[in-house]
Amino acid sequence: MHRTERRLEILKLWVDPVDMAGALMTVERFVDHGERPHSVFAVNPEKNFSVPRDPDLHEQFKNADLLIPDGIGVVLAARLLHRARLSRVPGVELMGEICRLSAAKGYRVFLYGAQEEVSAKAAELLGRRHPALQIVGRANGFVPEHEMPALVARINASGAQVLFLALGSPRQERWFAQHAGELTSVRVCQGIGGTLDTIAGTVRRAPRFWCRLNLEWLYRLLAQPSRIRRQRALPLFAGKVIIAKLKRLVLPHRSADQFFTSP
């Protein structure tokens, strides 16, 4: 399993200490030198609660090839618990950078997920942004299970090296775990959640001002009050991180290596 640096443990999940440039270099290495599909998953406070509750899903994250610090809460937790100065690597932005890299290096891309009209619109707009980008196939997120072997065969026949899974979490991580062994040409598989909706314009991303202030979560909450139940995880996560920090302050000194894991 490829690792860029030692992996940080944040409560019950992990994150790789990479910035955008480091994440992109890792993806490039996976495509150019990898011999199997490599998973790229995003880590945020919400997943820190949901993922550990499912042993199989927890194991999938543990074995992921690249875990990006998608949420500002994870970045702040890494600073408080490990004195690690991470920067956010939003999944939507990493996908854009991977598309730019793919256009420059001739990587073939396959899109899987979202509504049919969203998938089609996103593919069209990505093609406009990156004229050299080779989108060699796409499928909406409503492929029935009995047609999954045919979809995998399509992906393989396309020769795609990069596969974007827009199925939402945890469905996209489960799909990778189930089908990674069947993919012949794919070298990078990124779980991108609702990113195709953002690209297609059906869901608006927070303006840059909010993003620069690391308040994208607040913008989303104001725009979609229905997210309040989902975002209750944020203060709970903050509380758990503070408790973890206090425990470390009162316990005998331990070496920094004990706070790193290499799952």
Specify the amino acid at residue 116: E
Q: Would you place residue 1 in the very low, low, confident or very high pLDDT band (cuts 50, 70, 90)?
A: very low
Q: Which of 90-104, 198-212, 236-250 has the lowest average pLDDT?
A: 198-212
In a domain, 7, yes or no: no
Q: Would you place residue 100 in the very low, low, confident or very high pLDDT band (cuts 50, 70, 90)?
A: very high
In a domain, 95, yes or no: yes
Is the model's pLDDT at 257 over the cut of 60? no
Q: How many structural domains is the chain composed of?
A: 1
Nearest to 58 by CA among 172, 170, 204, 194: 170
Is the model's pLDDT at 256 over the cut of 50? no
Specify the amino acid at residue 166: A
pLDDT tens per residue across span 143-181:
999 999 999 999 999 999 999 999 999 999 999 999 999
Q: Cα separation of 11 and 16, whole Å?
A: 14
In a domain, 209, yes or no: yes
Is the model's pLDDT at 232 over the cut of 80? no
* β-bridge mates for residue 138, sequence order: 111
Q: Cα separation of 233 and 235, whole Å?
A: 6
In a domain, 238, yes or no: no
Its pTM stands at: 0.88
Nearest to 130 by CA among 97, 92, 166: 97
In a domain, 243, yes or no: no
Q: Would you place residue 227 in the very low, low, confident or very high pLDDT band (cuts 50, 70, 90)?
A: low
Percent of the chain as helix, strand, coil, to the nearest 5: 55, 15, 30
Nearest to 224 by CA among 197, 246, 190, 188: 197
In a domain, 53, yes or no: yes
Its domain, for residue 126, covers 15-228
Is the model's pLDDT at 208 over the cut of 80? no
CATH number at residue 199: 3.40.50
Q: Cα separation of 13 and 263, whole Å?
A: 11
In a domain, 129, yes or no: yes
* β-bridge mates for residue 7, sequence order: 261
| Apex 30 CA angle, 26 and 33, nearest 5 | 125
In a domain, 167, yes or no: yes
| pLDDT at residue 215 in the model | 74
Is the model's pLDDT at 253 over the cut of 90? no
